[in-house]
Amino acid sequence: MSASTANHARKLRKAARVILVGPPGAGKGTQSGRLLEHFRLSAISSGDILRENIRNRTPLGMQAESVMRGGGLINDAVMVKLIVGELSKRGWVESRPTTTSGITVTGALEIMGHTSAAKTARLAASNCPSSSFLLDGFPRTVTQAESLDKEVDMNFVVNLNVPRDVILDRIANRMVHEPSGRVYNNTWNPPQVPGYDDVTGEKLTKRADDCPETFAKRLKSYDKSTAPLLEYYDKTGLLWTVSGKSSDEITPQLDAEIFRRFG
Ligand code: AMP
């Protein structure tokens, strides 16, 4: 974050625990980067973590690679373990100490009927505004959402609603700097030097799963698995939908809503 951006970041009074939902290419990465700067939110991108695992040739990465190339979704249990582990590592949820019987402390409290005590224990690490965070790309299915609910009370779910023709055009022109997750678009948001990252000067690449055939599959799997997620969060009252044809149209609306709820 540049010094000038840091000076202009707006302070939140309440902890924001935000989930960004939207089809691939809706600009989740772009919005997440902007929220990070505007409110000093930290973010976890499930796709970025998976791609990092692929780059580092970890067992998870090797397992995920072919699924991602095929435009499918990684197994729910694997994803939950990965993201909840990451949340614990960053201190955003209880670090899951276990009792002698091997269950977590909050789990034990819940079994004993102390649901509110369990909730308090879970939130202890994350109620301060500086622990505000955002999840980009997780949860993607109702099963993932239910598992996340057991660990942490998320308090805002943003549905990015972008027309399909805009998404298709955007993906055709998308270039990424994989190590940082920075995203460029040759039409809307071109790099200063074509083909190279503005910050590091390294070469930009095309994501392997952005080719037209794989992308069509990703959109299909989004509709199948993620649309029910919106229904799920609508029922819990957390869902807020923002519409726009460009990220620049969406950002001011999203900023204003975050500030209205948490500022
Ligand atoms: P993204 O960068 O969010 O578009 O994710 C890229 C790919 O990573 C997806 O097409 C999936 O194959 C995989 N992926 C990312 N997040 C998840 C998730 N929460 N559940 C299952 N698969 C995921």
> Would residue 59 count as lying in a domain?
yes
pLDDT tens-digit readout, 158-167? 999 999 888 8
Q: Are 199 and 205 in contact (CB under 8 A)?
A: no
- Domain tally, the chain: 1
> Would residue 58 count as lying in a domain?
yes
pLDDT at 5 over 50: no
Residue 110 CA to ligand 1 centre (angstroms)? 31
Tokens of 55: 């780059």
pLDDT, residue 241, reads 97
Ligand 1 atom closest to the CA of 72, numbered from 1: 12
Atom 11 of ligand 1: nearest residue by CA position: 73
**181's torsion region: left (phi>0), alpha (psi -120 to 50) or beta?**
left
pLDDT at 48 over 50: yes
pLDDT, residue 209, reads 82
In this prediction the pTM is: 0.79
Pairwise pLDDT comparison (124 vs 146), residue with the higher score = 146
> Would residue 74 count as lying in a domain?
yes
Q: Is 105 exposed, middle or buried (0-12, 13-18, 19+ CB in 10 A)?
A: middle
Radius of gyration of the chain (CA): 19
> Would residue 9 count as lying in a domain?
no
Q: Lowest-confidence range among 130-139, 210-219, 235-244, 251-260?
A: 210-219
Residue 231 CA to ligand 1 centre (angstroms)? 20
Residue 151 CA to ligand 1 centre (angstroms)? 20
Atom 4 of ligand 1: nearest residue by CA position: 24
pLDDT, residue 25, reads 86
- Containing structural domain, residue 72: 46-129
Contacts 24+ apart (CB under 8 A), 209-212: 209/68, 209/69, 209/71, 210/171, 210/174, 212/172
Residue 115 CA to ligand 1 centre (angstroms)? 32
Q: What is the mean pLDDT of the chain?
A: 84
**pLDDT bucket at 131, cuts 50 / 70 / 90:** confident
Q: Please enumerate in sequence order all residues whose Cβ is within 8 A of that of 16, keeping only pairs 6 or more positions apart, or say none.
A: 39, 41, 129, 132, 133, 134, 155, 156, 258, 261, 262
pLDDT tens-digit readout, 213-229? 888 888 888 888 888 99
pLDDT at 119 over 60: no
Pocket of ligand 1 (CB under 6 A): 24, 46-47, 50, 67-68, 72-74, 79, 137-140, 144, 209, 218
Residue 47 CA to ligand 1 centre (angstroms)? 5
* Residue of 19, 67, 134, 140 with the most ligand 1 atoms within 8 Å of its CB, for mutation: 140
Residue 64 CA to ligand 1 centre (angstroms)? 9
Atom 2 of ligand 1: nearest residue by CA position: 47
228 prior amide bond cis, ω within 30: no
Partners of 61 in the beta sheet?
A: none
> Residue 29: in which H helix or E strand, if any?
helix 28-39
pLDDT at 122 over 70: no
Q: Please enumerate in sequence order all residues whose Cβ is within 8 A of that of 81, keeping only pairs 6 or more positions apart, or say none.
A: none
Atom 1 of ligand 1: nearest residue by CA position: 47
> Would residue 194 count as lying in a domain?
no
> Would residue 56 count as lying in a domain?
yes
pLDDT tens-digit readout, 166-203? 888 888 888 999 888 888 988 878 999 999 999 999 99
Q: Lowest-confidence range among 44-48, 110-114, 131-135?
A: 110-114
Distance CA 44, CA 122 (A): 19
pLDDT, residue 112, reads 54
Distance CA 41, CA 17 (A): 9
pLDDT at 96 over 70: no
pLDDT, residue 2, reads 41
Ligand 1 atom closest to the CA of 138, numbered from 1: 19
> Would residue 195 count as lying in a domain?
no
Residue 250 CA to ligand 1 centre (angstroms)? 22
Q: Is 154 exposed, middle or buried (0-12, 13-18, 19+ CB in 10 A)?
A: buried
> Would residue 206 count as lying in a domain?
no
